[in-house]
């Protein structure tokens, strides 16, 4: 029997805009069907998508083909690919059985024969720039049933890619010492909320910013000593009063980085995790940083990182420590759920907007209950 297989398709490159629902990213309710009992598995396994995670890196993958970056390009006409939680329906693969749940990269569709190849049979890793990583490396992995110790949604926030990003960058680059001061921009984002808590646990004074008052409250509840809305309070005013900074965690880039350089202490570390304010801007509209001379004068260390660089060294510690801290209530998270695959295009657009939306928590799209 054929079952409809709704999906969210990458329809058009968004150029210098965020991907607009219905134009660049389209929900298709009845484009394709699948025979759940009979579809050939070819040694793989069939999964049902339970939840999906809209994340900024998905925008980067939509860039023009001529623009190099750290990731491969998304494929036009194919479903978007992002982190998801899936359950296995049938399997021919050793070690994977029906009922297993896996977290990792998966297409934005209801059912998938895995492993999924994103219409990229022609992709040649040898031709990619040497700072590109292949998203296929982040394939699905079985995740244990938390058995009530924490909700499954935590696999998208503190225990998922955002938590791993925060842990790798903080442990691998920050060189943080108790008593130091850190500013976390986009401190209520999925990555930011974990950085705020790791920094507090280490005994740092934490300044955190976000683009909505609801998020300001949330960052305060996570322990941020100074929590502010960058849209209503000038950043420089806050850093002048509560700085100087020993560490800046940059999720935003552009003007924020310039202000952080201005209010950095001698030998401060500036950790470049992301630059979300610039992903959709053409080169000439990006903010030109005017105080680069302060980098040598203050002997600043500015360091960019990507999770795949640091994960081989730090992921074993992350997977040993984080679930325990979570179960003990020593680290927490919040997720914000939107219902149905059809909500996917708007959920993705929302994470790419300044202020995101007023909703607090890591955005997740619930595709199916079980
Ligand atoms: N280096 C790595 O390996 C790695 C891995 C994962 C993620 N990242 C980066 O980490 C950062 C956070 O990712 P995430 O998954 O935690 O994000 P997220 O939970 O999806 O949150 C994104 C938030 O960014 C803020 N934002 C959006 N557009 C903005 C703009 N133009 N100016 C300022 N802020 C803007 C919005 O919050 P507010 O405006 O309300 O603050 C939005 O809610 C991103 O830059 C991402 O690219 C890096």
Q: Looking at residue 345, which CATH number applies to its domain?
A: 3.90.180.10
Q: Verify that 301 and 209 share a domain, yes or no.
A: yes
What separation in angstroms does the CA of 310 have from each of 166, 219, 232?
Answer: 11, 26, 36
Q: Verify that 119 and 216 share a domain, yes or no.
A: no
Q: Verify that 206 and 231 share a domain, yes or no.
A: yes
User: Is there an atom of ligand 1 within 6 Å of 352 CB?
Assistant: yes
Residue 320 lies in a domain: no
Task: Give the chain's domain count.
Answer: 2
In this structure, are residues 113 and 89 in contact, taking their beta carbons and an 8 Å threshold?
no
Q: How many A from CA of 50 to the centre of ligand 1?
A: 23
pLDDT of 195 reads: 98
Residue 355 lies in a domain: yes
User: Is there an atom of ligand 1 within 6 Å of 260 CB?
Assistant: no
pLDDT of 69 reads: 86
pLDDT of 170 reads: 98
User: Is there an atom of ligand 1 within 6 Å of 305 CB?
Assistant: yes
Domain containing residue 241: 161-307
pLDDT of 358 reads: 77
For 206-228, write each residue's pLDDT tens digit.
999 999 999 999 999 999 999 99
Q: Verify that 143 and 22 share a domain, yes or no.
A: yes
Q: How many A from CA of 332 to the centre of ligand 1?
A: 19
pLDDT of 240 reads: 98
Q: How many A from CA of 23 to the centre of ligand 1?
A: 23
pLDDT of 209 reads: 98
pLDDT of 130 reads: 57
For 289-328, write each residue's pLDDT tens digit.
999 999 999 999 999 999 988 999 999 999 999 999 998 8
pLDDT of 127 reads: 61
Q: Verify that 116 and 175 share a domain, yes or no.
A: no
Q: Verify that 6 and 116 share a domain, yes or no.
A: yes
Compute, in degrees rounded to 10, the torsion defined by CA atoms 97, 321, 84, 144.
20
What CA–CA distance (Å, rounded) separates 334 from 353?
19
- Give CA angle at 267 (262, 269), nearest 5°: 75
pLDDT of 158 reads: 96
Q: How many A from CA of 350 to the centre of ligand 1?
A: 11
Q: Verify that 32 and 101 share a domain, yes or no.
A: yes
Question: Which ranges of the chain have pLDDT less than 70?
Answer: 118-138, 355-356
Domain CATH code at residue 299: 3.40.50.720
Q: Verify that 7 and 129 share a domain, yes or no.
A: yes
In this structure, are residues 29 and 295 in contact, taking their beta carbons and an 8 Å threshold?
no
């Amino acid at each position: 029997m054929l079952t409809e297989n709704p999906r969210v398709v990458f329809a058009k490159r968004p150029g210098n805009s965020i991907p607009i629902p219905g134009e660049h990213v389209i929900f298709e309710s009845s484009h394709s069907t699948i025979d759940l009992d009979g579809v050939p598995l070819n040694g793989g396994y069939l999964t049902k998508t339970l939840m999906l995670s809209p994340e900024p890196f998905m925008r980067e993958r939509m860039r023009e083909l001529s623009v190099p970056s750290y990731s491969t390009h998304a494929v036009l006409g194919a479903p978007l690919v992002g982190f998801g939680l899936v359950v296995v329906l049938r399997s021919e693969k050793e070690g994977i059985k029906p009922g297993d749940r896996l977290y990792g990269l998966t297409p934005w569709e209801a059912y998938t024969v895995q492993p999924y190849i994103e219409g990229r049979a022609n992709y040649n890793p040898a031709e990619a720039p040497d700072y590109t990583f292949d998203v296929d490396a982040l394939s699905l992995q079985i995740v244990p049933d938390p058995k009530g110790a924490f909700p499954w949604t935590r696999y998208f926030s503190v225990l998922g890619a955002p938590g791993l990003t925060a842990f790798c960058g903080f442990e691998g680059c920050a060189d943080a010492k108790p008593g130091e001061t850190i500013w976390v921009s986009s401190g209520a984002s999925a990555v930011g909320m974990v950085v705020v808590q790791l920094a507090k646990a280490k005994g740092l004074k934490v300044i955190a910013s976000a683009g909505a008052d609801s998020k300001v409250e949330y960052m305060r509840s996570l322990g941020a000593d100074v929590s502010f809305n960058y849209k209503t309070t000038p950043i420089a005013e806050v850093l002048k009063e509560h700085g100087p900074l020993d560490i800046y965690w940059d999720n935003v880039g552009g003007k924020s980085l310039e202000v952080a350089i201005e209010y950095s202490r001698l030998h401060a570390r500036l950790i470049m995790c992301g630059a979300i304010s610039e992903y959709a801007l053409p080169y000439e509209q990006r903010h030109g940083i005017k105080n680069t001379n302060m980098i040598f004068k203050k002997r600043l260390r500015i360091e960019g990182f990507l999770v795949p660089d640091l994960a081989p060294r730090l992921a074993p510690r992350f997977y040993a420590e984080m679930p325990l801290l979570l179960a003990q209530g020593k680290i927490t998270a919040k997720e914000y759920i939107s219902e149905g695959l059809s909500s996917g295009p708007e959920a993705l657009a929302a994470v790419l907007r300044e202020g995101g939306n007023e909703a607090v928590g890591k955005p997740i799209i619930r595709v199916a209950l079980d």
